[in-house]
Structure 1
């Protein structure tokens, strides 16, 4: 009997219990792709899962989303290592091609998928959290037949190409905000998602674009991405916004903080009938005074989830050099130093985007 090929992969067994293990190389089934992973970005949701947030692990009020043991990683690019004719025809790629893969694997059968809203799929299998859709933090992974695969030019560093996932999310949030040329837009949080929001909003030429973040380096990068004004939360944020808007408040507030203070701040800064777009992933439930939403200002409160229909634009922006990827990707770690990667990503003020490089992405 032939010996089963093995590879190294990071395996999540529980909160703060992530291990580098030897596991079998997965075998693709009909219509599936065997992908050799090149780079995996660490997302804020990865950090909250690692840290034990109730939405991932459950508590007395909810069932957790994470199902260990599982290989994490949903922000990734890789090269096609093997596929059959069905996968080749379905996705339009071949062996050796670099691809980016959307973070959700839609079931194609639920009410949301049938309505074309695949990113809201009821089973909601996102790579890296559930056993049936293991992620990319290993040398190889299987891309299911139902996954959405996008060919990607091969001339970018892998960690830069992997920004397609967070950038697509940011572009969707901007779209949900209906940002236009007459708007004063505030982006709260200048991490990878917030910086992508600045980039996406700048493309729509708003009247003024403001970015808010605690970290001075992130504020500098926000300026590189196109922010007209950058502020720290401790600055005179509200007077500045009122001055920019003749005392009315901003038209659109895009929250990428994942912090309760970002919610309260947005409700204060918005004008009447303004648009609040929530993209942050919170570790705990958030409470606020809802009176201002209805009786006070008649606000539009909108959620944004994943990056539906934005991947071609995100890949185009990265390929064209519109994204200062070298400033956003601040750290790269080989897979055998994944623990340092998580520590770095989770230390305030230490990093913007941290990328883990399996053997296929190391230079």
Structure 2
């Protein structure tokens, strides 16, 4: 089969044997495979990522000296089954899959390990238990977005965002745009999106963002004023003193009144939910410095190198800092059906389509935020040109 291999930073098309599905696995003919930010990072920062994942107990992430076939955002057609499978997905079924494969008890990330070839190829092996049929009528370019949209679905879930919350999305690359779309699909009333790229800001508007700002011109934090957030510690101290002075006029002790208000949730401070979707050094510390008191911060962007932050900012503001990666199988399934049902509209995110011969040029094109958001690989295309999405 034809596949795009990565060794060091070199991408090239090669002829490889068609992989064979093992126990409980499926062989898919790849229909589409998205190029993810993780693929771009892997090309330039494989060893740094591998070092981090080794500390997490996974020593098989791709190293720069290894030859790997990238690609984990996969839509394909079932071709064959490995032994001892359920065989409920018949040949010809269009499917998407959580990109993990297991041999024995060893689990590898599809397209992110030299031990699990990815979807930048004509064929790929996936785990049958992690594979879902694509609902009838869902176009290929949307079905192929299931995996990256599931990442955003999980991040929003991690943020515990309600319809009444104000969400601030910093960075409108593919991940940030996906977060905006998921937030709006869940009915969040106010979504503020910030990015220096005019092209990405335009896409954020199409994804449903209520307020879109250029951070070089307007602070996203200023755009969130008027929602009762406290910006300074004296603001909170004054609010506490005002409350006590008001309760002193009540016919019950102030602590009795305070406990009653606690039970009603009236003393819970208002705060935005912030999604950091940039992943560059200094972003987290900048958010800690600028965010209102009690903000909940969900870090979705992956910073490749070491970073520093001032914990005293988070402590004194009582900020809630969370990190998000991946998704659960249920979130993956729910994302697929939200796409199929039309409640999650991200059709405008796909800005390009390319054959295997054009993958290297697509990697280059994706470095320009004004031109592309998501490029899908279509192995059936016999061209090295990037076609419109």
Alignment of structure 1 residues 52-201 onto 2, 5 Å: 52=45, 54-56=47-49, 65-67=61-63, 68-83=66-81, 86-89=84-87, 92-105=88-101, 125-144=108-127, 148-201=130-183
Query: CA 1:88–1:100 in structure 2 vs 1: closer, same or farther (change >3 Å)?
Result: same
* Structure 1 stretch displaced more, 27-36 or 331-340: 27-36
What's the CA shift string for 1:114-159, capped at 9, x where partnerless?
xxxxxxxxx66211121222111110111145x5111112534423
Note the C-alpha offset of 1:185.
0.8
* Structure 1 stretch displaced more, 229-238 or 72-81: 229-238
> Aligned partners of 2:116 and 2:196: how far apart in 1?
35
Note the C-alpha offset of 1:35.
0.5
Q: How many residues align?
A: 338
> Aligned partners of 2:274 and 2:229: how far apart in 1?
16
Q: Secondary structure at the match of 1:135?
A: coil
Query: CA 1:183–1:192 in structure 2 vs 1: closer, same or farther (change >3 Å)?
Result: same
Query: CA 1:23–1:85 in structure 2 vs 1: closer, same or farther (change >3 Å)?
Result: closer
Query: CA 1:135–1:238 in structure 2 vs 1: closer, same or farther (change >3 Å)?
Result: closer
Aligned counterpart for 2:4 among listed residues 10, 17, 36: 10
Aligned counterpart for 1:48 among listed residues 41, 44, 62: 41
Query: CA 1:325–1:174 in structure 2 vs 1: closer, same or farther (change >3 Å)?
Result: closer
Note the C-alpha offset of 1:205.
2.9
> Aligned partners of 2:322 and 2:229: how far apart in 1?
24
Aligned counterpart for 2:359 among listed residues 321, 334, 338: 338
Query: CA 1:163–1:242 in structure 2 vs 1: closer, same or farther (change >3 Å)?
Result: closer
Note the C-alpha offset of 1:72.
0.5
Query: CA 1:98–1:238 in structure 2 vs 1: closer, same or farther (change >3 Å)?
Result: closer
> Aligned partners of 1:106 and 1:168: how far apart in 2?
21
TM-score, with length taken from structure 1: 0.84
Alignment check: 8 A CA contact 1:181 1:207 kept:
yes
Aligned to 1:4: none
Q: Any unmatched runs of 5+ in structure 2?
A: 232-270
* Structure 1 stretch displaced more, 315-324 or 328-337: 315-324
Greater C-alpha Rg: 2
> Aligned partners of 1:214 and 1:124: how far apart in 2?
39
Aligned to 2:278: 257
Query: CA 1:180–1:280 in structure 2 vs 1: closer, same or farther (change >3 Å)?
Result: same
Note the C-alpha offset of 1:66.
1.2
> Aligned partners of 2:353 and 2:364: how far apart in 1?
12
Aligned to 2:225: 243
What's the CA shift string for 1:278-332, capped at 9, x where partnerless?
11112212212121111x2111111111021311221122212344443100011
Q: Secondary structure at the match of 1:273?
A: coil
Alignment check: 8 A CA contact 2:5 2:69 kept:
yes
Note the C-alpha offset of 1:347.
2.6
* Structure 1 stretch displaced more, 175-184 or 340-349: 340-349
TM-score, with length taken from structure 2: 0.79
Q: Secondary structure at the match of 2:204?
A: helix
Q: Secondary structure at the match of 1:316?
A: helix
Aligned to 1:3: none
> Aligned partners of 2:48 and 2:107: how far apart in 1?
14
Q: Any unmatched runs of 5+ in structure 1?
A: 1-6, 110-122
> Aligned partners of 2:195 and 2:109: how far apart in 1?
28
Query: CA 1:79–1:361 in structure 2 vs 1: closer, same or farther (change >3 Å)?
Result: farther
> Aligned partners of 2:177 and 2:158: how far apart in 1?
16
> Aligned partners of 1:212 and 1:254: how far apart in 2?
10
Aligned to 2:199: 217
